Chain A
Amino acid sequence: MPQTATTNILAILEADFNGIIEEWLGTQVSEGVKRSDLFSDSESRSQNAELLKAFSKGVRAGVVDAEFDLEDTAWEDLRAVLADVTKERVNRGVTPTEMATFVLALKSPLFSRLEAMLSDDPSSLIQEVMLVTRLVDAFAIYTNEVFIEERELIIERQREEMMELSTPVVELWDRVLTLPLIGTLDSARAQEVMENLLQTILERQAEVVILDITGVGTVDTQVAQHLLRAAAAVRLMGAECIISGISPMIAQTMVQLGIDVGTVSTRSSIRTALADALKTVGYVITKTRDH
């Protein structure tokens, strides 16, 4: 049989599959990356087995003249198994470094077997070791990328959940909504907050929306623009908008910046804004008893 670059590697993988798995696990333990606190022995073993099986498949079909590309279809299985294993690991709190070291630990069992096989042919040994190195390194780098992507997805999801919690639209009264804006408004947050607000106006058939900026520290041109856009959008939906909580500082800044509020009502306190809103929807507040 003609010797190709991968003949020896494949022979090793075939001959001693389980042995390699055990050694791989062993190296992972000694590198401190097996994480038996997160994964049971059988889980770890089966993950390694799946990965090695897919790796072998890739080596068999995806290496031509010692060249390979992990994006090829030949490596499909490996990519798929990797995606699953990575997701599991990310979800349970494994770090990127641990994950990369986990993969790199595969070199050790492969090297030792290559050495045994080619001890009397040092130049071939060196060539094969280099190929294995490149393969496992590429494997590790790819793993790292997948890992980071998965982590970013999780972070993004958490960020969204947090944003929903921090900017709730409150139905203060029948058909009166209020949105207390806390902190600085950044572009992405402003968009989502706006959409949520408008959707609520629709669902609750709210006639008045009070945008309270008492909790907003500074108002610069951008913040003012977001505010006015929000007020305009509220009006387009058919509701009235009142901006409340304008402090003397903010009022000065807005005038200095030449910001024209136009037809939007503004009130310094939420109290007056609420009184206005209630009047609009047909209510009047009267005192019933002297305190």
Chain B
Amino acid sequence: MLYRENGQFKSTYRADLQMLPILQDRVFIGVLVVLAFFAVPFLASDYLFLSMIIPFLILTLAAIGLNLLVGYCGQISIGHAAFMAVGAYAAYNLVLRVPWLNFLAVLVLAGFIAAATGMLFGIPSLRIKGLYLAVATLAAQFFTDWLFARVKWFTDYAHSGSVSPAPVELFGWRIDAPVEKYLFLLGVLVVFTVIAKNLTRGHLGRAWMATRDMDVAAEVIGIRPVYAKLTAFAVSSFYCGVAGALWGFVHLGSWEPLAFNLNLSLNLLFMIIIGGMGSILGAYYGAAFIVVLPILLNQVPQWLGVPLSTATASHLEFMIFGALIVLFLILEPRGLARLWAIGKEKLRLWPFPH
């Protein structure tokens, strides 16, 4: 009932090709975006912004990036935090050495530098596939870990290897209050989500998906694997580079190479696996699951008034979180986005299933 598209006729190609073809989706997403921009800033507390919403937004952006590569193009990478690190340090050096540059330009340039690095580390994908490629992408992780910890130039010869740039300024707008950070990040995320969604619907996304589904067949119908795979690596690393710069500048404020370690790479991968591979929406679900859930779980005993020791509470957090991951993967191996899609299917007929 609720999701029936009966009566919504498409009379032009344009209408048929739009991003959200069903009216209900358009209304829903529209309301959500309006709420996110105008209601959330008044409702959420600073704590909520700083500890959950801001990391959620930035990691969603990174997860979208990784999803373009893994979910859409089928090239597994377990070193994507490396490209976030490249983005963060590129942005730091740009701000340091070219101080008059606008931060938006810094973001885009940092993205391009990360994209170039991503293409470089994507070259092995032309020869090796699957798990072998995954292992090869680890090289990116270890290389950047080494690079930013050892080559002092990148950290401006800081004593302890930790860098701390000034708060972001955009056309005289100093972004340092939690709400300002939120609005800025939300704006960036909306723009990048729309771009990603459209990329996957265009010829590039089709080339990626063809390569993912069967690379030999894709080659036969005229898709160049070099082109498809390297663009996927480039776009994906671009997204992660931008996310990395935001992670450093907006979320952490000061960071060390450890902030972009293997753990973060794996977390990104878990996000898209749990959220749903090959789905932009899945990146949102996955990021929410990985970022927000552990923090909530950690505080549940206290809200309930159960006097648990700190150690027990955090052991419980790990156990329940692990169990939930296993549970979701058993119930729906294709991710939370798939659950959502099933829900929509059901709503088409509900409440009259016949």
Partners in one complex: no
